Amino acid sequence: MKRTLVIGDIHGGLKALDQLLDRVEVTENDRFVFLGDYVDGWGESAQVIDFLILLSQKQECIFIRGNHDVWCHEWLENNVINDIWFFHGGKSTIESYQNIDFMRKEKHLEFFSNMKDYYVDEHNNLFIHAGFSSMHGPEKEHYTTNFSWDRTLWEMALTMDKRIQKDSLLYPKRLLLFNEIYIGHTPTLHYNVEIPMQGCNVWNIDTGAGFYGKLTCLVIATKEFWQSDVVQSFYPTEKGRNK
């Protein structure tokens, strides 16, 4: 049976990703959708990209672009260090790229360039790192940075009055555009939750792997999910994105 598996923000935690995929018991028919932020946090950001490139050669993989991936791509391409990025995980990413050879760098640049801003599957499910603001959908988005930065979609879905019916004029138009929406970007740890969260038809799969949380993989059809151990346990001498 073909499964669509969605995976939250990895943030350089290759060991957690490897453990998670073992627990999922991946088959050759599985399709993966990764929600972005592959880098910046734990000490194996470059190695995560190597792993994902190899994985995509034997599995169907869709890679969504996150805000940290945008920063890393800019650095790889132009060798310009964004100060905000540097202090929000970029430092560990730069260190992971020490001694990278030209061919490997070129493969990584191609990987970053080919990431998608969002993906809509055959069941009209949307996969996007953060969100969008247009009532007409992401294809009509005026500010494309919203794809990797917007939090209003999630905040709206999470706090909406559940008594409002879908046929009400008050029901958010953005939420009616898709069957379900899958996002990362805002760690569920912010709400003292360690597992995926749902608000209306929006599912948040970022369970804080870059901080004190775990990495999560969820099956779209059944909502069954698996998690790694706390990612920090794999990197006891590192702080990740924790202050």
* Residue 243, pLDDT above cutoff 80: no
Fill in the DSSP letter of residue 117: S
pLDDT bracket for residue 162 (50, 70, 90)? confident
* Residue 1, pLDDT above cutoff 80: no
pLDDT in tens, 70-91: 999 999 999 989 899 999 999 9
Cα 243 to its chain centre, rounded Å, is: 21
Q: What pairs with residue 197 in β-bridges? A: 204
Q: With pLDDT > 90 as the criterion, what percentage of the chain qualifies?
A: 96
pLDDT at residue 224, as a whole number: 98
- Domain ranges in the chain are 4-234
d(CA 134, CA 143): 9
Averaged pLDDT for residues 22-35: 96
pLDDT in tens, 78-128: 998 989 999 999 999 999 999 899 999 999 999 999 999 999 999 999 999
pLDDT bracket for residue 196 (50, 70, 90)? very high
Q: What's the predicted TM-score (pTM) here?
A: 0.97
* Residue 57, pLDDT above cutoff 90: yes
Q: With pLDDT > 70 as the criterion, what percentage of the chain qualifies?
A: 100
Which H helix or E strand runs over 173? helix 173-176
pLDDT in tens, 40-49: 999 999 999 9
Question: Which amino acid, residue 13?
Answer: G
Q: Which CATH superfamily is domain 4-234 in?
A: Metallo-dependent phosphatases (3.60.21.10)
Average pLDDT, the chain: 96
d(CA 232, CA 1): 33
- Residues whose CB falls within 8 Å of the CB of residue 157, separated by 6 or more in sequence, listed in order: 172, 175, 181, 199, 200, 201, 202
pLDDT at residue 99, as a whole number: 87
Averaged pLDDT for residues 17-32: 97
d(CA 54, CA 70): 21
Averaged pLDDT for residues 182-187: 98
- Residues whose CB falls within 8 Å of the CB of residue 127, separated by 6 or more in sequence, listed in order: 6, 33, 35, 62, 64, 118, 119, 120, 121, 181, 182
